[in-house]
Amino acid sequence: MAGVKAIVFDFIGTLISVKDYNMEVSKLKLHKAIAKAGFDADVESFLEAYSRAHEKYRAIRYEELVEVTNAVWISEALNYLGYKIGPEDTRVKVAVNVFFEDYLSSLENNACTNEILVELSKIYKLGLISNFTYAPVIHGALRKLDLNRFFNAILISEDVGWRKPNRKIFEEALRRLRVMAQETIYVGDCPKEDIGGAAATGMKTVFVPSQFYSLETLIESRLKPDLIVNGICELHRTLPRFIEKAT
């Protein structure tokens, strides 16, 4: 491996965690925002239409590895209910922000996240690649947790258009960081999206289990990262030795 010049991280799960979040409560708040905006749909009908639209675009997102933002399927749910409205409508955008309020509040740094980013940013270029349907949430979380100052490149699937493991989003990160794949280490918690996607691009990979993906998940995937650690704290201790051995 060439000398390491950059380290790229996944975000949610790897560097931060979601604590005490309830998706169903957010859906009810979404309906309330829709009703407040003047759309007369009872909660059961709206949530059924929302789930139908969500599943349609979830399949597209995961099969075609392109990103589709929440406003698209919220507006489509309203179209199912007889309203002619597009995703750019201000009322839909307001509703999306309401939907994500609790989620953004639930995000918090993992142990050692701040410490490792402080140290690594002194030596390497740092990148972030996050699959997320609404980029303002990730930008808001980075500001809230005071992490945005560490990254030379931040790529969110809604902004870029492509989702991990599509190699295009990894290649775009390399382009923005101005490094080659063989000069880059990728750290993530999802076997398929993170480890598989980064490895296919030619990066060295580090797997970090999270609240979403366990070591068993990695084993089941049959993917083999170059390094497995128990968490960011262990990565902080072992990364210098791993880089030394890899170069």
| Class of the domain covering 6-17+108-246 | alpha beta
Q: How far is Cα 235 from Cα 239, in angstroms, rounded to an integer?
A: 5
**Integer CA distances (angstroms), 244 to 15, 39, 241, in order:** 23, 60, 5
pLDDT digits over 181-232, tens only?
Answer: 999 999 999 999 999 999 999 999 999 999 999 999 999 999 999 999 999 9
pLDDT of residue 245: 80
| DSSP classification of residue 84 | -
Continuous segment of H or E residues that includes residue 18:
strand 16-18
How open is the CA angle 142-146-150, to the nearest 5 degrees? 80
DSSP assignment, residue 12?
Answer: B
Is residue 145's pLDDT more than 90? yes
How high is the pLDDT of residue 2? 65
pLDDT of 90-120, one tens digit each? 999 999 999 999 999 999 999 999 999 999 9
Average pLDDT over residues 13-35: 97
Q: How far apart are CA 156 and CA 145, in angstroms?
A: 17
Q: Mapping DSSP to helix (H, G, I), strand (E, B) and coil, where does residue 141 land?
A: helix
* Number of DSSP helices (H) and strands (E) in the chain, helices first: 11, 8
pTM of the model: 0.95
Q: What value does the mean pLDDT take over residues 145-167?
A: 98
